[in-house]
Amino acid sequence: MKQIKLTVDKVILGFASIAIVAMTLLAVWQVIARYILNDPSTLSEEIIRYTLIWFTLLGAAYVFGQNKHITILFIREKFPWKVQLFLTYLAQFAVLLTAIVVFIYGGIRITMLTIPQIAPATGISMGFVYSALPVSGVIILFYTVYNIMTIERTAMTEEEDVTSV
């Protein structure tokens, strides 16, 4: 399971790297086209916007995989260790539920609704753009299941770190 996670991490980071470079180059091209050539490129603007959507949602999924999402630790740390462990599980199950209902189920519904819509400049289906939701939802689901499976091991390591200080 860990090897699969590492592979998913590499794929997401690879996509993110390509996406950020492409968005930067397209933005530079757009500035050149607009201000030097006096011929703004609507195609590059639309591609940047849709790439940013995919980049953001897959980046957010990656953050869940690294367990680096926003948490309010100072409240959780006021409780005994067993309660902290329970709250960690509860948070992971809340993420699991959100990924299934909002990202996957809702994302599939919105993707199906937007398939017939065509983007004006690129001519691609808006369903492709909105499919970033269920794809990132499946990745968040995978990462959350992985995180749930490793909570005990991670919690023990953290507890040892806390008690040794």
Angle of CA points 13, 153, 12, to nearest 5°:
10
Q: Could you tell me the pTM of the whole model?
A: 0.83
pLDDT higher for 71 or 65? 65
Phi, psi of 76 (to 5 degrees): -60, -40
The first and second tokens of residue 157, run together, are 């390591």
Q: pLDDT-derived band of residue 81, with 50, 70 and 90 as boundaries?
A: confident
Question: pLDDT tens digits, residue range 18-59?
Answer: 999 999 999 999 999 989 898 888 889 999 999 999 999 999
Residue 125 gets which letter from DSSP?
A: B
Residue 158 pLDDT: 55
Phi, psi of 13 (to 5 degrees): -65, -35
Residue 48 pLDDT: 95
Residue 159 pLDDT: 54
Among 15-29, 99-113, 146-160, whose mean pLDDT is lowest? 146-160
Asked whether residue 14 carries a pLDDT value surpassing 90, the answer given is yes
Which residues in 40-156 belong to E strands, given as ranges? Answer: none
